[in-house]
A = this chain, B = another copy of it.
């Protein structure tokens, strides 16, 4: 099928860019002698997962139990569910474990450690748990040195129903860095925090087999992964305009885009309208564009995916995208009604979630495959 025959809006995935992104990350993590545990929350797709690693070749990370279930069906058994666990989800987790999943859970409070143990006993199960460490104050976890880390470690080790699997952190702060120096410093901050926490546990006389860190920016800019047993990253498979704005990738690395159609010219307001709005692109505001403006995506040639001159999606309604012509050299004549535009997304994880699958391209005008996604919870 031709791109030009697709109903729009449609989600496109450039296979060559995807494969290059996967190779870049694999090479990077290998060069630093660590191991990648890809975070599949971005792709939620077995077809993408298989290009990263085959079932049996290593562990994966997920953000929902729906993903855990889906990827287990594909044969991925070593699964880290990287969201703080609550008792209400343990029955479902036990079912997945009974089906062959080797699931590792996450928590960062004494309360959760006790609750998990209590439910584990009721379910006649044992849940391996990582302790979440906070390396930058951005989301969850305990700061290295916090005595609670040792308390939880001891609890997980001692309690019936839990075991201490190690420590994990995520440098969400890397999304506020820009350029190589800042990104490398954040990667080192993340590494230092997680290895310090691991050392704290070992000093307390316990083992800490897993020392897990990761985010796409820090994984790609780390200079050392010493003491880190695994690195998690997700959005690198697709990249997006947020990653590009941080200096993590170029726009030619962005593998995900939304195919849209120009549906109207608003000459009195000097803008065109496309049929990709807030639902098709996501309402994620991303980072400001090089003009210092808020935007919701960058319009590109529909086939080559080469960005057009300052053609930013300036605002969105549910099914409308508005593109101002104020800052571009392009005119209404260059952008006739019915013409397709391909939009690079601000935040690939959010944009992809609006679709049930990917239309795969090989960089040309032809759709070569369709890959399903596993959405919802």
Interface residues of A (CB under 8 A from B): 7-10, 41, 63-65, 83-89, 92, 107-109, 111-112, 115, 132, 134, 137, 139-143, 146, 172, 261-266, 268-269, 273, 275, 278-280, 282-285, 317-320, 322, 336-338, 347, 349-350, 353-356, 376-377
Q: How many copies does the complex hold?
A: 2
> If A7-B377, A88-B261, A109-B264 touch, does A317 touch B172 (CB 8 Å cutoff)?
yes
> If A86-B263, A264-B108 touch, does A139 touch B337 (CB 8 Å cutoff)?
no
From A84, A107, A141, A282, name the one whose CB has the most chain B CB atoms within 10 angstroms. A84
| A365 → chain B closest CB, angstroms | 15
B64, B134, B279: the one contacting A268 at CB < 8 Å is B134
Q: Are B7 and A266 in contact (CB under 8 A)?
A: no
B64, B111, B279, B322: the one contacting A319 at CB < 8 Å is B64
Task: Kindly state the separation between the CA atoms of A231 and B309 in the bound complex, as whole angstroms.
Answer: 40
| A37 → chain B closest CB, angstroms | 17
Q: Are A337 and B111 in contact (CB under 8 A)?
A: yes
| A79 → chain B closest CB, angstroms | 15
| A25 → chain B closest CB, angstroms | 19
Closest to A340 in B: B88
Task: Kindly state the separation between the CA atoms of A317 and B108 in the bound complex, as whole angstroms.
Answer: 17
| A271 → chain B closest CB, angstroms | 9
Task: Kindly state the separation between the CA atoms of A337 and B116 in the bound complex, as whole angstroms.
Answer: 11
Q: Are A41 and B10 in contact (CB under 8 A)?
A: no
Q: Are A84 and B139 in contact (CB under 8 A)?
A: no
B9, B89, B265, B284: the one contacting A278 at CB < 8 Å is B284
Q: Are A87 and B319 in contact (CB under 8 A)?
A: no
> If A139-B322, A285-B283, A320-B83 touch, does A337 touch B376 (CB 8 Å cutoff)?
no
Closest to A269 in B: B137
> If A284-B283, A376-B356 touch, does A83 touch B139 (CB 8 Å cutoff)?
no
A141 / chain B contacts, CB cutoff of 8 Å: 266
Closest to A111 in B: B337
Shortest Cβ-Cβ A-B pairs, 8 listed? A84-B263, A84-B264, A283-B284, A63-B319, A283-B283, A111-B337, A86-B338, A86-B261
